[in-house]
Structure 1
Amino acid sequence: QIEQTLRVYGQGRRLRESSNFLMSQLRREYPGPAPSAHRESFNPGCLILWNELQARQPVGAATIAACVLDYLELDPLARTAVMQQGLHLDAPAAAAALWKSLDNPDKKPTLTAVPPVLASWENLTSSVEDGPDLVHRPDSINLERALHSQETRCVILHGEPGCGKTRLVESLAQRVARGQVPFLKGTRFFRMDAASMAPQALESLLTGVLTTVGPQDNLILVIENFGRLMEHAGSGLGRIAQPSVRLRIIGILNESDFASLPAKESQLSGSTWTVPLEPPDIETTLAIVESSRPELEKTYGVSIRAEELGRICQIADKYVVEIQRPKRAMQVLRWACDEAKFEADRTPSGELTVVNFEVAAQAVSHRKNIEKEQIVGTRGVEYYREELEKQVIGQTEAAKAVATRILVTRRGARSLDRPAGVFLFAGQTGTGKTLMAEAVARIYSHHQGSLHKFTMGDFHSEHTSAAFVGAPQGYVGYVQGGGLVNALQKDPNGVLLFDEVEKAHPAVWDTCLELFSKGKITDMQRNTGYANQALIIMTTNLCHDVIDAGLSRGHSWERIVADTKAAIPRQIHEKSGRAYFRPEFLGRIDELIIFKPLDNSTIAKIARLELEKKIQQHKEQSSVLLECMDNDDWELICGWLSDQCQGDPAHGRAIERELIKQVSVPLATFSVPPGTQRTVRVGLNLSGIVLLDEQGNLIGD
């Protein structure tokens, strides 16, 4: 009934009619004597209405009174109706007088009414006022300065995803509600997300809000995804700059959306103040994480070790690179709580579980598909070197250089503002450059799928760089985005392989300068991929003739390496007439590694490795166990395979082809009953590899 009466006010009815109706309702709902009114707060025209609103104080009449005061203060039509009757209402003074008459005079008065036009908005002030204390960031001063400006009606708060834009506004709203920001005293914050509404509803929403409550200077509207509102609200946005509009707007948007804003910002004229927000430092991030600890412990039923939050924030910086502080630290802490809760729920005792660095590392391992041992840094350079040498034969120096870089990355002894490592593998065909990249992917990210390969022969012309960052808007392929950005967003902890870079147009590498220097790249849709935890590997056959010449002249390997490194910057792209690599591009490479040519003993070791793979393959897939006729025959077979592949630059592939011809093809006709396993003996004669069954019969031709 009270709400109906207030709506009568809003429709401009005479004050006497609406007040009489309200009094009749109040007498029926709240019978009893009325306390004395505070005449100093009202002129006589409002006294009768106020007396009725204060009836039955124990029932909560103070809330009703505050509600009406708030409504009359905020709703322009209601206020106009009162003023037309000559009834000036000093709402703040009335509220103060009312609360002085209550039993608890120290309690802060709260005006609870929400203008109908804001009914669908979140009352941010109410949400945070009595909630947990939020961390006050020092850079909040920039937002406060913008809100203090008499000319500013719209503040645009922009920054990278996860840098704490929303939490900064929530913290400010809490401080305002608690009276800690004097110039914003009595101001209330309302919040909505522009992305949650259909585009056609945004125009009417903005127009309705600005028309109804626009003249109020004690309202701040917080709009998430503000770029969407600016995109679809059309001319309605220009109302913010009108002199009659006194409320203020805080528009929150990500940095990528802000990049497209200047063309539309003219609608707001000089009434806009843009406030960039950088991610907080580690101390502020740690304070934010610490403040959330009690709530997370209650939600998940775990105990979080406060002394280990710093280390948890550190692994968040390393492995959750797609979002910024403080959100990524909070993300890892939630993962850790979820991991601990899972372990507690799957055990019969269900005891309270402790969340510490080990649990957080385990959670990141599961989420990012990275071995826990790599996250906690328990492995040394020898482990990585040995793993690489097992898979790539004969490249000890290359394996050591890559292993050292991986260890530096795992231990955090490097800048996070650029990629984890940028390598250029140069050398003759077949020396294991691509194989090394595949091996690095397996040990760096724990799975083969983390290798994202770009065949640079597909980038032969200048315009093909669009495959990295996507086509411009209006062109075919725009909606797919950039392939390089997509790969980094999918797996920011993986390995990027640019294979045979000499086949790409030199202009293609101009696109990658920011990637190599800052560890990030943005596509045409303003999506950003982060590579500060990714390894970047390029392979090239450039200057193989320099290596050949040095070997033929008997030069030392150290001199050949020096000559090759000196020759690479001088190589000219035939079609464009430009150097393959600009000096600033080469300057961003961490390691230029020259792969050694393979000698006979190395090729024999490769043959042994390929032969062991073939034996395991037939055991698992064909139930055929390959055994050597004589232990010494394995070495003879590997030597024979090495001789067969002499002159073929792709030694590994040549050996594999020979094994298929000599072993796999003959075994294709070998019958193995289901559920059984047969043994085949392997030997060597003048014609090549021979296969014999259990009875000594020759298999194949």
Structure 2
Amino acid sequence: MSDKSLRVYFTTHHDGRLTGQLLPVWDSFFDEPPPSAYGNSEAEIYALLETRIRMMLLENPAGLERFLWEENLEARTITVEIHPQTLHKKRPVIAKALIPLKLTYVYGKLESGAWRVRVPRFGWSFVLEDLAIAREVLQNALTTVLLGEKPKGLYDFRHEGVEYVSSWDLGWLQRDNRRGPSEERPPEVLDQISEELTSRALGGRQPALVYDAESMRTWLAHAQRQPPQSLLLVGGPGSGKTSQVLKLARLIAEQRREDKKANLPRIWRTSAERIVAGMVYLGMWQERCLKIVDALSYENDYLYVDRLTSILAPQPDGSSIGDLLLPAAMSGEISMIAECTEAELERCQRRFPESLRPFRIIRIEPPPASQVPELMLRYQAAKRSRVSIHALGLRQLVGHLETFQRDSLFPGKAFRFLDWLEQQGEPGKARTLYPRDASEAYARYTGLPLQLISDEVPAEQASLAGQLRQGVIGQDRACELAAGVLARFKAGLNDPEKPVGTLLFAGPTGVGKTELSKQLSRTLFGNEDRMIRLDMSEYMLPGSAQRLMEVGPGITSLAERVRQQPMSLVLFDEIEKAHPEVFDLLLGILGEGRLTDSLGRLVDFRMAVVCMTSNLGVEQSEPAGFGAERGSEDFMRAIRQAFRPELFNRIDHVIPFRRLSEADVLRIVDLELEKAASRAGLLRRRLRLVVEPDARAWLARHGYDPKLGARPLKRLIEAKVMAPIAVKLSAEAGLEGAMLPVVVAGTEAERMLRPEYRAVATVLGD
């Protein structure tokens, strides 16, 4: 029975969810319906089916025998044409028309040479001498049920979606079968906090893997030791550390299939988060760790704990998971597999040297870029991808990945892109990507504009500055300097070991410093949401810098947000207010493009743009009204005095912002009114906002403050224009397709309003 396994038949529904059903080898009249489940993913289906199987075995220990298969099964979808039955004067009439119906069946070859054929959706089963007659047999069967004594309707045979069959090897079932009836089942604690990888390796429940079995023989030698050698995999993100463990699990499973007596370890996969999940009271998680050690004690199995730094991190009571697991690993009582980066390894060697004693260190080196196209092709073949990429397109994609995603290594970042690309395709439709298509797909994947990543699309500094000026009024010089950073990025001339650009915006409040940061984010990443804004007035006290480095569930620190989205714009607002400890962190971010979080892991800032704003150099006494620049404001002198030289020298550009003129504020008024006029409530009713020149001037005059710049303008438009319009729309539900004038009280424009417009007009007054 150890060489038998289950078969699960999956049906994809129109809502994207799945139905999974165990396929019986034989049927009996008195049998219960086969176990089935409905869920969002294969993993969820398998979990539900496993629960149903355990319940079935409690009632009937031999109940699983009828679901254990020896032959391999494959699914095939065919189209058959049927003459439908209709009713005419209550009599059945067979129509002349032919209706095509899709039907999926599974088939497997028996030892006798015949073919077993099943149609799982309808419970049909046949044994055919020749598979070539399957279509004819199924068409006859379909005709029979449509025209029988109790005919079914065509609706019963509608095609839901993709249907396929997967083999499923329940490892715990095989272990239970090898044990005698008096032996215990696998320890419950391992079922709670982990998953057994080797039993899943051949059951279609692992991601596609690209590997050479010969290259894994050394790993197998470590696993065959008694006890197995504990392993620490060292490599950068994306180099394939986790994949190596999955490959080892696959190789062990293949060896077991070839040699039933092979004494090879199982691999239990867990993490620090899963170990402590739900452990709310004092001593609970420590008790669980002791149960894990007891369950694995001298079992010659592996405990794969994912990141080494996570089990070494102190829990709220000050101790760590490693304090309980690592001594058992040192004594050879249990064997472990863990991962870390090179920087984390160095930190452990300095702070926790004893934690490394149980492990044999294996470094995982990323493949050179020249080998990545071949690996991508092999990965697509393993996934049976519907998307093919031209050889030139592959090289172009590898170039994009190497240039614009330096936070991750090959082959991981290439495989992640291919996974995303497969999800974007139309179901059932194959396509080929050529170089231009590949660049466009990568632009959608990252949010980077095509003009910045493709050499085929020009992007001059002047045109980039023009895009920035669309959202930033009155700061042409600042836009030109910022556009220079984008042009340098497109040319590939920025320092690869530093952020894409480091800009300090200096000038009065409310003149567009933050708005230029938003516009940079829109231009670089297509979305303002890619900007991470930090108000430095919240980081003024000692110890504030630690909050930037915190990591963990539910934490939204700078380290967490940049790790989740390395291609971001980070804005340090009013940087001069930050505590000196924050400036120490900035030295590493601006100089080396990295930040060390609270667990000692590196966060990569080399694909981020860092912007800072400052009011340094602005005199306290501001001129009244709209003013030109004052010569007494010396931004550079004030900034040099406030910043240490080593920090100041890491800034690419200090960009001064001038005060806004009256014409600038009028343009900002137009920009804000244009945004207001495009709101959904006005567009839905086809209402047009018409603002008279006097009203524009009134808003510009009252929306500008000498100390706050144009910041009050948005609030003024909301209070004086949009709020009165909202009141009118609430009172007149049928108002559609009208013009909504905005005028100033006592002006000629107000006096000339026609009666039908006077009722819906917004009147501004002093």
* 1:261 positional shift: 7.6
Preserved CA contact (<8 Å) 2:197 2:246: no
- Residue of structure 2 in register with 1:305 after alignment: 390
Distance of 1:2 and 1:682 partners within structure 2: 82
- Residue of structure 2 in register with 1:517 after alignment: 591
Instruction: Summarize the Cα distance change of 1:193–1:674 in structure 2 as closer, same or farther, 3 Å threshold.
Output: same
- Residue of structure 2 in register with 1:677 after alignment: 737
Distance of 1:641 and 1:390 partners within structure 2: 20
Instruction: Return the letter of the residue paired with 2:370.
Output: E
- Residue of structure 2 in register with 1:450 after alignment: 530
Distance of 2:667 and 2:325 partners within structure 1: 74
* 1:317 positional shift: 4.0
- Residue of structure 2 in register with 1:500 after alignment: 574
* 1:603 positional shift: 3.0
Instruction: Summarize the Cα distance change of 1:123–1:158 in structure 2 as closer, same or farther, 3 Å threshold.
Output: farther
Distance of 1:648 and 1:539 partners within structure 2: 18
- Residue of structure 2 in register with 1:652 after alignment: 710
Instruction: Summarize the Cα distance change of 1:493–1:257 in structure 2 as closer, same or farther, 3 Å threshold.
Output: same
Instruction: Return the letter of the residue paired with 1:325.
Output: F
Distance of 1:136 and 1:546 partners within structure 2: 73
Higher strand share: 2
Instruction: Return the letter of the residue paired with 2:306.
Output: N
2:669 to 587, 607, 611: 607
Distance of 2:198 and 2:434 partners within structure 1: 35
- Residue of structure 2 in register with 1:343 after alignment: 426
- Residue of structure 2 in register with 1:590 after alignment: 652
Structure 1 segment 31-430 matched on structure 2, within 5 A = 122=198, 134=212, 154-167=230-243, 191-195=267-271, 211=298, 223=304, 225=306, 227=308, 232=321, 237-238=326-327, 251-253=338-340, 258=345, 259=347, 266=354, 269=357, 272-277=359-364, 279-296=366-383, 299-317=384-402, 323-339=408-424, 342-343=425-426, 345=428, 350=429, 352-371=430-449, 374-376=452-454, 378=457, 380=459, 381-430=461-510
Structure 1 segment 443-482 matched on structure 2, within 5 A = 443-470=523-550, 480-481=554-555
Instruction: Summarize the Cα distance change of 1:481–1:165 in structure 2 as closer, same or farther, 3 Å threshold.
Output: same
* TM-score relative to the length of structure 1: 0.62
Distance of 2:506 and 2:223 partners within structure 1: 57
Instruction: Summarize the Cα distance change of 1:554–1:118 in structure 2 as closer, same or farther, 3 Å threshold.
Output: same
Instruction: Return the letter of the residue paired with 2:548.
Output: F
Instruction: Return the letter of the residue paired with 2:736.
Output: T
Instruction: Summarize the Cα distance change of 1:221–1:547 in structure 2 as closer, same or farther, 3 Å threshold.
Output: same
CA displacement, residues 305-334 of structure 1 (integer Å, 9 cap, x when unaligned):
233223222333456566433211111122
Distance of 2:533 and 2:325 partners within structure 1: 48
Distance of 1:225 and 1:190 partners within structure 2: 16
Matched, 1:568 2:630: no
Preserved CA contact (<8 Å) 2:234 2:362: yes
* 1:493 positional shift: 2.0
* 1:427 positional shift: 0.9
Instruction: Return the letter of the residue paired with 2:640.
Output: P
CA displacement, residues 60-109 of structure 1 (integer Å, 9 cap, x when unaligned):
xxxxxxxxxxxxxxxxxxxxxxxxxxxxxxxxxxxxxxxxxxxxxxxxxx
* 1:394 positional shift: 1.4
- Residue of structure 2 in register with 1:15 after alignment: none
Distance of 2:701 and 2:355 partners within structure 1: 76
Secondary structure class of the residue paired with 1:156: strand
Distance of 1:673 and 1:307 partners within structure 2: 59
- Gapped regions of structure 2 (runs ≥ 5): 4-173, 187-195, 255-261, 276-284, 313-319
Instruction: Summarize the Cα distance change of 1:148–1:682 in structure 2 as closer, same or farther, 3 Å threshold.
Output: closer
Preserved CA contact (<8 Å) 1:426 1:541: yes
Distance of 1:691 and 1:623 partners within structure 2: 25
Distance of 1:657 and 1:135 partners within structure 2: 66
* 1:389 positional shift: 0.7
Preserved CA contact (<8 Å) 1:316 1:332: no
Secondary structure class of the residue paired with 2:619: helix
Distance of 2:214 and 2:571 partners within structure 1: 44
Instruction: Return the letter of the residue paired with 2:381.
Output: P
Distance of 2:670 and 2:541 partners within structure 1: 41
Distance of 2:589 and 2:353 partners within structure 1: 30
Instruction: Summarize the Cα distance change of 1:679–1:324 in structure 2 as closer, same or farther, 3 Å threshold.
Output: same
- Residue of structure 1 in register with 2:688 after alignment: 625
Instruction: Name the % identity.
Output: 19
Preserved CA contact (<8 Å) 1:124 1:170: no
Distance of 2:325 and 2:469 partners within structure 1: 66
Distance of 1:612 and 1:506 partners within structure 2: 42
Distance of 1:149 and 1:546 partners within structure 2: 75
Distance of 2:366 and 2:751 partners within structure 1: 66
Preserved CA contact (<8 Å) 1:203 1:232: no
More deviation in 119-128 or 689-698? 119-128
Q: Which has the larger radius of gyration?
A: 1
Instruction: Summarize the Cα distance change of 1:267–1:159 in structure 2 as closer, same or farther, 3 Å threshold.
Output: closer
Distance of 1:392 and 1:193 partners within structure 2: 52
Distance of 1:383 and 1:125 partners within structure 2: 53
Instruction: Summarize the Cα distance change of 1:321–1:622 in structure 2 as closer, same or farther, 3 Å threshold.
Output: farther
Preserved CA contact (<8 Å) 2:198 2:250: no
Distance of 1:251 and 1:684 partners within structure 2: 71
* 1:586 positional shift: 1.7
Distance of 1:249 and 1:500 partners within structure 2: 48
Distance of 2:682 and 2:407 partners within structure 1: 43
Instruction: Summarize the Cα distance change of 1:675–1:420 in structure 2 as closer, same or farther, 3 Å threshold.
Output: same
CA displacement, residues 261-320 of structure 1 (integer Å, 9 cap, x when unaligned):
876653775x64444545444235445334434324xx2233232332232223334565
Secondary structure class of the residue paired with 2:426: helix
CA displacement, residues 348-378 of structure 1 (integer Å, 9 cap, x when unaligned):
xx3x311445555555555545555555463
Instruction: Return the letter of the residue paired with 2:658.
Output: K
* 1:570 positional shift: 1.0
More deviation in 220-229 or 414-423? 220-229
Matched, 1:436 2:496: no
* TM-score relative to the length of structure 2: 0.57
CA displacement, residues 485-512 of structure 1 (integer Å, 9 cap, x when unaligned):
2322343222221111122223222123
Preserved CA contact (<8 Å) 2:704 2:712: no
Instruction: Summarize the Cα distance change of 1:490–1:302 in structure 2 as closer, same or farther, 3 Å threshold.
Output: closer
Instruction: Summarize the Cα distance change of 1:221–1:195 in structure 2 as closer, same or farther, 3 Å threshold.
Output: same
Instruction: Return the letter of the residue paired with 2:233.
Output: L
CA displacement, residues 424-450 of structure 1 (integer Å, 9 cap, x when unaligned):
100122221111112222222222222
Instruction: Summarize the Cα distance change of 1:187–1:311 in structure 2 as closer, same or farther, 3 Å threshold.
Output: farther
Instruction: Return the letter of the residue paired with 2:617.
Output: C
Distance of 1:357 and 1:161 partners within structure 2: 27
* 1:402 positional shift: 1.5
Secondary structure class of the residue paired with 1:393: coil
Distance of 2:758 and 2:246 partners within structure 1: 82
Distance of 1:666 and 1:153 partners within structure 2: 75
* 1:163 positional shift: 1.8
